[in-house]
Amino acid sequence: MVAALEWWSGTECTLYTDPKSYPLYGNENAIVVLNHAFEIDFLCGWTFCERFGVLGSSKVLAKKELAYVPVIGWMWYFLEIVFCKRKWEEDRTTVAQSLQNLRDYPENYWFLLYCEGTRFTPKKHQISMQVAEGKGLPQLKYHLLPRTKGFYVTVQNLRGTAAAVYDSTLNFRNNEVPTLLGILNGKKYHADLYVRRIPLESVPDDEAECAAWLHKLYQEKDSFQDHYTRTGRFPGPIMSPPRRPWSLINWLFWSCVVLYPLGLLLAQLLSSGSVLTITAAGVVCSSVSMGIRWMIGQTEIDKGSNYGIKTAPVNNN
């Protein structure tokens, strides 16, 4: 997937960050807080993970449904990805246990959190701001109201293991609307990511204070997005790491290993002359194609979950 973004579509990914923080990226455990407004924001995150050498050990707090997605979901299960049902009564214990398993993880990792809980849409934003008004919180223009409980549990369980919070804000130039299908079709996009490194010890221990800290963080993220909308760039210097060849080499190697024997098999089936065999091969190929299209559909905004659509009670964090 990273090779498709970087080498097939040629999408450019630019990093804005503090030069003093840059040497620490990839050399420490961190909690990444990323906005969730684009279909390929996860893929841009993976790209930066790969460039800093932590793609293989990157983690995410993901919805349980993704565990059942063929190949990717199974891979995530064995890579100790933390899954949640987005029902706090059930998630409180299971998420904490999964996070505790990361305390002795042998490699540096980045743990990704979408604190908004779901992808940004105008309808979800309207409902989220109704909740914010009921709580007396400032309105956000470019984000949903963050869900603070998952962030608090993550911080508490990784405190002493993770060194920092990477506040990450993503946008695309010229109002581009990137899609995974566009990437697979070879369309080039231009992604800009602004990252602030915040030492974890600056995050309060108290749950209420931690929630207030996160709300303030999202108000700052909103101001960064507003700055980007007005100027076409994020504040601060550009410190972009170059793309590395390893994802391309990996892609080419497995393409040769998998596609060559499949090509031979398909040629034998077509040359057999059996109508039944050719029909069966056509059905299998069509099924695989439909399966891939379904997987792509899981990233599309207009086919996203209804999580966040129902008006939440005012006392819901």
Model confidence over 188-207: pLDDT tens digits? Answer: 999 999 999 999 999 999 99
Q: Indicate if the pLDDT at residue 173 is higher than 70.
A: yes
What mean pLDDT value characterizes the chain?
88
Pairing, β 82-84 against β 190-199: unpaired
Residue 178, pLDDT score: 94
CA–CA separation, 292 and 132 (whole Å)? 38
Residue 315, pLDDT score: 46
Residue 130, pLDDT score: 95
- Full-model pTM: 0.86
Q: Indicate if the pLDDT at residue 297 is higher than 70.
A: no
Q: Indicate if the pLDDT at residue 13 is higher than 50.
A: yes
Asked if residues 36 and 116 have their Cβ atoms less than 8 Å apart, the reply is yes
Residue 70, pLDDT score: 74
- Domains in the chain and their CATH numbers? 2-245+298-303 (3.40.1130)
Geometric angle at alpha carbon 148, from 143 and 153, rounded to 5°: 140
**Tokens for 152?**
């608090």
Residue 312, pLDDT score: 47
CA–CA separation, 170 and 114 (whole Å)? 12
Q: Indicate if the pLDDT at residue 258 is higher than 80.
A: yes
Mean pLDDT of 285-299: 73
Task: Band the pLDDT of 291: cuts 50, 70, 90.
Answer: confident
Q: Report the first-to-last Cα separation within the chain, whole angstroms.
A: 34
117-143 pLDDT per residue, tens: 889 999 999 999 999 999 999 999 999
Asked if residues 153 and 92 have their Cβ atoms less than 8 Å apart, the reply is yes
pLDDT, greater one: 244 or 72: 244
Residue 309, pLDDT score: 60
Point out the least confidently predicted range of 25-34, 50-59, 297-306: 297-306
**Residues 6 or more apart in contact with residue 28 via CB below 8 angstroms:** 108, 162, 163, 164
Report percent pLDDT > 70 for the chain: 92
238-257 pLDDT per residue, tens: 988 999 999 999 999 999 99
3-state secondary structure string across 192-206: EEEEEEEEHHHCCCC
Torsion of CA 68, 165, 51, 26, to 10 degrees: -110
pLDDT, greater one: 20 or 86: 20
